[in-house]
Amino acid sequence: MTDLNRRRLLKGSLALAGGLCVPGLLTARSSTGLFNDQLTGYIDQLHDPVIIKEGDTYHVFGSGGWNGRPQISWRTSTDLIHWRDNGDPFDELPKWAFDAVPGAESMWAPDISYYNGLFYLYYSVSTGGSMRSVTGLATTPTLDRRSPRYKWTDHGMVIETFPGGDFNCIDANKVIDLEGRHWLAFGSYWSGLKLIPIDPQTGKRPKGDDSIYSIAYRPAPENGDNAIEAPFIFTHGEYHYLFASYDYCCKKLASNYYVAVGRSKSILGPYLDRQGRSMMEGYGTAVLVERPWGSTRWRGPGHCGLMHDGDRDLIVWHAYDAENDAAATLRIAELVWDDEGWPSVKGEPVRANNRQ
């Protein structure tokens, strides 16, 4: 957000940094292949979605506050088309986080992943435009509220940032790389997107390891903003793909948010666009962008989450609906890959290889 895992099977663990797919279950298919033509139910007032699947149910989590409730927003569906409200994940807001950030009113930018028998929910607490931010972690053995095993446990702070620093710790994304190592990507504005190692046993930074790596940056024009945020790292083939949101979210129909991608064989980068230019220099290949800008129904598409879902990949994001009072609304599509290993979003227009 302007101030908000889904990988694959690794070493015997169901670690899909964003999606848990259970073998033997049929995956939902829309009749046209374009889910956005059919979405219904509780799909509006949603920012910064991420998606995961448990059993036959898809779960989308998003930022709190936009729907009138401060907690993380939670929606569910069994077919990716009909969505319902699944209530609040916690009985109460994490007191430690709101004590740490005076003035904060809601939880932002969740990330959901599954590893070693637990669902990991990372979340951010901050105030708009501030570097005083915290990222926390909660876990549960299941997302099924009907199960006796359902219970969220809050594990407190993972990382924090303060005014006077040079980066902001919101928009977390848990990553398991192609070598099986665990990481947390995050960042919004300032010096860009960052990556820190994570202890897979605790979901937090390894003791004594304060290393932090820069993976993407947006040079600012004179008197302008370096608008980049919302990293999401997704594996495909032999590459790590870094999806990031550029330009401005949260301006309703004036939003010009869009998503660009680069790739690297190393989780640490460098992440390069289709023409070999670095995301550390502000480049990226567009995958979600409104064209022509400011003239379509769906404005400012961005802050995406992805998951492997059987034999296909899914991407979710939010966009502002010009036909529904500029409501931030859930969007879903299949992510498809060309012969050179570059992604596109089924049914969505793009303008490739741009720097803006």
- Please tell me the distance from the alpha carbon of residue 34 to that of residue 52, in angstroms, as a whole number: 19
Whether 325 is catalytic: no
Could you check whether the bond before residue 270 is cis, i.e. omega within 30 degrees of 0?
Answer: yes
Asked if 298 contacts 310 with a C-beta cutoff of 8 angstroms, the reply is no
Torsions phi, psi of 98, nearest 5? -75, -25
Residue 135 dihedral angles phi and psi, to the nearest 5°: -115, 130
Residue 80's identity, in one-letter code, is L
Encoding tokens for residue 95? 């007191």
Of the candidates 160, 171, 229, 321, the residue annotated as catalytic is: 229
Give the closest residue to 60 by CA, choosing from 70, 73, 71, 69: 73
- CA 104, CA 102: separation in Å to the nearest integer? 6
Sign of the CA dihedral running 202, 76, 40, 26: positive
- Give the full edge-to-edge strand order of the sheet including 228-236: 228-236, 239-246, 258-264, 285-288
Is 56 tagged catalytic? no
* CA distances for 251 relative to 3, 71, 171, 292, 329, angstroms: 12, 22, 18, 17, 14
Q: How far apart are CA 50 and CA 245, in angstroms?
A: 14
Long-range contacts of 204-208 (CB under 8 A, 24+ apart): 204/137, 204/155, 204/158, 205/158, 205/159
Residue 7 · residue 101 · CB < 8 Å: no
Name the active-site residue from 48, 54, 160, 321. 48
H/E stretch holding 96 reads helix 95-100
Residue positions annotated with a catalytic role: 48, 229
